[in-house]
Every structure is written in structure tokens, then in C-alpha cells.
Chain A
């Protein structure tokens, strides 16, 4: 089973799939963005010149849909100032200067194994641990996880899917986690199941990772806490890891347009998030580090790193051997949905799973030509809308027509632009259209 549409870009994962996740030396300076995720922006709880310790709460928000921030290192708050944000342009960040005696945080600290026991943790405890650890969806969406795992008696969750697809080309950190931190991910999945009192847990893995499938199968057999979890092997196709596409492929259900998975009783969580949950619950440790892939043909030594949130992209690039001479584009995230950054001081956020560096050869950007109405964008659209009609309407400022063609349903996956032979930035036009519609509805200031 699979979803309709989608594209097959070369996965290019060989560059870094063999590289184990390595801890990085503590950076001298970290910039922790106050806006890391969907939901309320945090307010700093520290002042300039305050001393902070690793794991200390440094910012929080009272809103339900939010997640607190913690310092990844011991150090001193240097400033609270504007700094480059991958999506928002410039935004407030807490800048921490780390002290000399810091030791790099080792990945996989708890050494989870098949004997892990979820019995001691009550649903309440798990929820609080996740909330206090500041965990957000680490696969890219960045929705605060505590909100998702709060049991709602009106709409009980019937199926949980662990998203282990990693369908974006080049990125391999999820894959490395799957083979290195297998039990930690399974423990996280079991803990989510426990808070929601739901035993139907699926692990969706793309078939281009046969070894990960095998390792998970073995681990599920070996670990009593994982009994009953099911592996769902999925087609290798982008965007298999999109929430809607994943649910369609695993459960053959459609999430209503404009709705969210809980409306049909499904929760999707990415492997990195599951691993973070396990760590937060078992060790009470907040989310301050994450696995990041640094890859692409423009980087000298691609690899996977366990880096603190707030580390500058440029520093990670240096750790991976630096840029090659022909590098022209640095993308925070993968090539299909990531954001190109111009400023290498841009810090990592909780949702940055990769830094992809491209050379001139990778980004053959040609000039936009006339649409030849070939229909490829429609065939490739995973949510079955008409990208060319919408883009055309946006271009001509006919927002009502764009909306009639379901502009709002677009998940911005990029398949249409990827496949268009006329090189029309369909996704770009659609994103612009969404902003214009929001402005028209006065949801967004001019």
C-alpha cells in the first residue's frame, strides 16, 4: 500500500549512511532561538551575564502549545539579541558563552537495552517529563510533543506510527539512530503508547533501509516492552515520511483536508522524537542535543554528529571538513523542504536534522519557461491538487481561484517543482499564495 503521487529523487544517502553519530567538541558560543517550534514564543528566564549550567531551564512560555528551552552547556549568558533564523529571517536568541570545563555530551547516554521497563512510569509522569524536557517534533514540523501525547478522552488515539521513513535525500541521521539507538527509539514508542493507553504501534520504514528493518525486527522480538509493535515496510518514495502520506500508506486512512491526525485517532512521531522522549523520561534529561547529518557533494567529509542546539551551522561544516571550493548553497534540512541559508552563523534548532551543502552541479537551476500543461505536477502531487492551476492563479493575483483549487491543502512538499520540466517554482508560488491569502484574511500583518 502506498499513497498516490510522489516523486523518486536519487536518495544520495551513501555519502553519510556509514558514518556513526559522533559527539562534537563543545562550541565556544551557542545561540538558542526563542522561537524553535510551532506555538507560543518563549520568554527568557535568564539575564545577561547570568551563569547557567547544562540542562538548566533558560526560557519558557505559559501557553499550552509551547515547549521550554534549556541550556546545553555550562556557561554565561552573553546576550539576548537578534540573530539569523533559518525561517524567520532574524529573531531573538539567548546567546551563551560556554565555559572551558565543559565535556562534550555523549550520544545514547542511557544505554537502553531489551530489559528496559516502562512499568515504573505513570502516564502522568511521562507527560510531565516530556513537557519539562521541551520536546518538539524533531522531524521538521516542530509541534510541541506534550500537546500531542496529552490523552483526550473525546478523541482517543487508536494507532501510533513511528515515522522512520527519512524520505528526504541525503539525510541519514534518523537511519543512524535506528541502527545505533534501536532500543531507545522503541522505549520512546512504548512510553508514548503508555501515556495514550494505545497498543497499536507501527514503525514505518522505507524499503531502502533493509538493515534497519532487520534490526528493528530482532529488537522487537527481544524486548518485552516492545511486544506487539509492528514494522510497516514502505515504498521508497518522497514524501513517504509526510504525516498524511505515512498514515495513508500504513493504515490506508486519509487525514481530512485542513485537519490533523488525531481527528482520525492517529499519532505520528518521528524516531528522533521517540528517542528524546525515552531519554527525558528515563534520565530526566531535557532536549538540548540532537543528531544532525552534514552531507552533500559540497562538503569535504560528510558525517553524522550529535550536536548541541544553538550551534552555528558554519561550525558544524568545519567539523565535517569544511566547504569544498565549488560549494554554492547551504541548506538547513534536506534538499526537498530545507531552507537555504546565506549566513553560516545561523544556529541549529530542535528541528534541524541536517545541513546539506550543494555544489553548482547539484542545483542546475534553469530559467522558468512556459507551462506545457504536461500534467506531471498533478501526477506527482501527493495530496492530489492542481499545482499548475494554483501557481498560475497566484501569479496573476487571482487568489479566489487559487483557493478554489485548494491552495490551503498543499503540504509544501516540493514534488511539483521537482518534477516540472518547465522549471516553474510551483511550490514557491503556492507558498506565496498562502501568505497573500493569510494577509487578505488579516491573519498576518502587512
Chain B
């Protein structure tokens, strides 16, 4: 027999997917939102995205070199972190801040814990948290999208003009419209309708990747159909957010925004489909995923409604990340045949 036969334990076949292919799928799921960001924020979007992705990758390589570990760039997790970080930043943010945020995300958010799989917090959210702490003002200045401001530099333009008209985020605008006691009711409704339409396509102020509801939905549904992410976490996040917003709105419709407007806000969608579903920092079991998702949704709404802080997502995710090992412990599985009696 000429051949040398290999021997290994069973099973002898694998499903043809890998960490890399899962991450690639996530990147593909983020493409529609990336296109939307190029349309609405043009060159600014390109700069932020490119600086986040490239610096995340560079930091990953540096860390692997220092730790004398094999290069893990191939698993594409650094790319995903870069994109999600960029998507959660305002378009006006300068590139050096992107680099600082990426550095924190990869080095402190991921690598000091031992790399992919061992990190407790979502690296992108950790990076954003750091930026919020350092440059609070920069993180809440929203430019109007290119559809409303023709001076926005085009994709490929050589200079990124800093001057830009700023505007409140759509949820802020709606809140203002609601508070305006003098305006007649139907005018208010018309204004809100207009804002809602802009939210759907993404022609609003906001973080880079969060503006277009439709683009995020397309990406999210793609991931669910491909079974790259479990449907439980998105459903739990959106469901619990809806319930919270619904209760608030029922209690005081003049003060609180209707629940479907909350759901349509891109921040919640990107969180439900792309951030909370990060497998590493979410619980392992299905029951745990329900609890985790519901917690993220409820905390986000709590921060948005009570704290009046527009961006609750980051804190909600980081908080739930920290209890995810605990959730795992409380949702320990029992074998199908019951506990063995030993």
C-alpha cells in the first residue's frame, strides 16, 4: 500500500465554516450600512472607517508580536471590531481619535484578556467608551448628512473640510417636536413622519453606521438567514426595548417617543444585530441569550428614557457583558435524560 493513512479521533468530517467565515459574514452584513454611510457622510465616512479598520488590524499584529503568538489577523475579528467602532462614532471625529479608540479596543478590550474568545467586553464598545470618557464633546457633535448639506466633501476628495452644519439626532429632533407645546397636533405628526422617513433611509444626523434603518435591517436579516447569528438576541433586544418604550409612551405620550420610532433608530438596530450578538461576550446557552438580549434592550431604554442620555446602547452592552459569565452559570444545562443519580 503506497499511501500513508492518517488517523485521528472521530468525527472525521466538519461543517465547512470557520471563525473566519463567520466574521466574513458579519462584514458582509455590515456592507449595506457602510454604503449608506458613504452616501450620507461621503469622505468623512471613508476616513473614519479606514482609520478604524487599519489601526485595529495594526494593533492586532503588534499585540501578537509582543505576546509572541501566532498572527490572528486571518480570523477577521479585528476588521469587524474596526467597522463596528467606526459605525458607532460621529462622522466628524478626527482620524487620530479613531486610532486611539481602536488601540484601546484591541489592546485593552481584547488582547490583555488573552485575545479573541477570552475578552469579557465587546472590544468596539470598550473603545468607544474610552473615547467618550476622553473626548466627550467630540462624541456628540453630529453633522447633517450630505443630502442636506451639499458642501460635504465627496468620496475621494483630497481635503476633509471640518466646517459642517450640525444637527440633533432624529430621536432628539422628535423629542423637541413633542415638547413644542404651541404647535398643533397634526403638524407635530407630520414632522415626526418626515423624520421617520429620513431615519428609514438614513438621511439624518447620527453616528456613521447608525443612520440607515433599512441598510441595517438588510444586513441583520442576511445574518439571521445565513444562521451566522442566532435570532434570539436580536428578537430579545428589540422586544424588550419595544415593551419598555411602549410602557413609557402609554404613561406619558407627550413626553416619550412612540416605541416604533425607538426601534427604527439605527443605534438600537446595529446593537441588536451586530453588537449584542458578538458571540464572545454574549452567553452560551439559548436561555442565557434571551436574558442577555432582554437585559440589553431594557437597559438601553432605561438610559434613553430616564437618563435622557441619547446613546444608551454602549453602556447597556458593556453592563450586560459584565454579567454574561454569571448568566452562563445560572443557565447551566441539564442533560436530556435528567441529572444522573450519582
Contact = CB atoms under 8 A, between A and B. Distances in A.
Q: Tell me, yes or no, whether A binds B.
A: yes
Interface of A: 3-4, 7, 9, 169, 244, 248, 254-259, 314, 323, 325, 327-331, 333, 335-342, 344, 356, 358, 362-366, 369-375, 378-379, 382-386, 388-389, 405-406, 408-409, 412, 414-415, 417-423, 425, 427-428, 431
Interface string B66-95: 000000100100000000000000000000
Contacts of B194: none
Interface stretch (B5-13, B213-221, B262-270, B309-317): B5-13
A342 to B, nearest CB: 5
B337 to A, nearest CB: 4
Contact of B5 (A169, A329, A336): A329
B180 interface: no
10 residue pairs, one from A and one from B, having the closest CB atoms: A414-B11, A370-B117, A257-B337, A374-B279, A258-B340, A409-B335, A428-B9, A257-B340, A340-B7, A335-B12
Contact of B11 (A255, A337, A406): A337
B13 A418 contact: yes
A179 B158 CA distance: 74
Interface string B287-325: 001000000000000000000000000000000000000
A339 B335 contact: no
Nearest to A169: B13
A372 B20 CA distance: 11
Interface residues on B, range: 35 or more
Contact of B21 (A323, A388, A406, A421): A421
Nearest to B281: A373
Nearest to A170: B13
B332 interface: yes
B1 A4 contact: no
Given A257-B340, A340-B12, A370-B118, A421 B333 contact: no
Contacts of A169: 13
Given A363-B12, A372-B117, A388-B284, A340 B5 contact: yes
A356 B279 CA distance: 35
B231 to A, nearest CB: 12
User: Chain B interface mostly helix, strand, loop or mixed?
Assistant: loop
Given A406-B335, A406-B340, A372 B280 contact: yes
Contacts of A331: 10, 12
Contact of B14 (A314, A323, A423): A423
6 contacts: A340-B8, A362-B12, A373-B284, A378-B284, A389-B284, A421-B15
B16 interface: yes
B12 A329 contact: yes
Contacts of B338: 254, 256-257
Given A340-B12, A363-B12, A328 B5 contact: yes
A427 B9 CA distance: 8
Given A255-B337, A421-B21, A9 B284 contact: no
Interface string B98-126: 00000000000000000111100000000
A385 B337 CA distance: 11
Given A335-B10, A417-B14, 15 more contacts: A256-B341, A257-B335, A257-B340, A329-B6, A340-B7, A342-B7, A363-B12, A369-B19, A370-B118, A373-B281, A375-B286, A375-B289, A378-B284, A419-B15, A423-B14
A418 B14 contact: yes
Nearest to A370: B117
A382 B335 CA distance: 9
Contacts of B16: 364
A421 B19 contact: yes
Contacts of B230: 375, 379
A408 B276 CA distance: 33
A265 to B, nearest CB: 15
Contacts of B72: 369
A378 B334 CA distance: 12
Interface in B4-35: 4-19, 21-22
Given A364-B16, A373-B117, A374-B279, A338 B10 contact: yes
Contacts of A335: 10-13
Interface string B218-237: 00000000000010000000
A418 B7 contact: no
A382 B336 CA distance: 8
B279 A372 contact: yes
A385 B339 CA distance: 11
A409 B334 CA distance: 10
B151 interface: no
B251 interface: no
Given A358-B12, A421-B17, A421-B18, A342 B335 contact: no
Contact of A341 (B5, B115, B117): B5
Nearest to A337: B10
A290 B289 CA distance: 48
B3 interface: yes
Nearest to B23: A372
Contacts of B118: 370
A374 B333 CA distance: 16
Contacts of A4: 336
A419 B18 CA distance: 9
Contacts of A383: 335-337
Given A370-B115, A372-B279, A341 B7 contact: yes
A336 B336 contact: no
Given A257-B340, A384-B335, A384-B336, A418 B15 contact: yes
B316 to A, nearest CB: 20
Contacts of B333: 378, 384-386, 406
Contacts of B75: 369
A427 B336 CA distance: 18
A14 B230 CA distance: 32
Given A9-B13, A338-B10, A327 B3 contact: yes
B185 interface: no
Contact of A378 (B22, B117, B285, B336): B285
Contacts of A7: 15
B342 interface: yes
B341 A422 contact: no
Contacts of A370: 19, 115-118
Nearest to A298: B3
Nearest to B17: A421
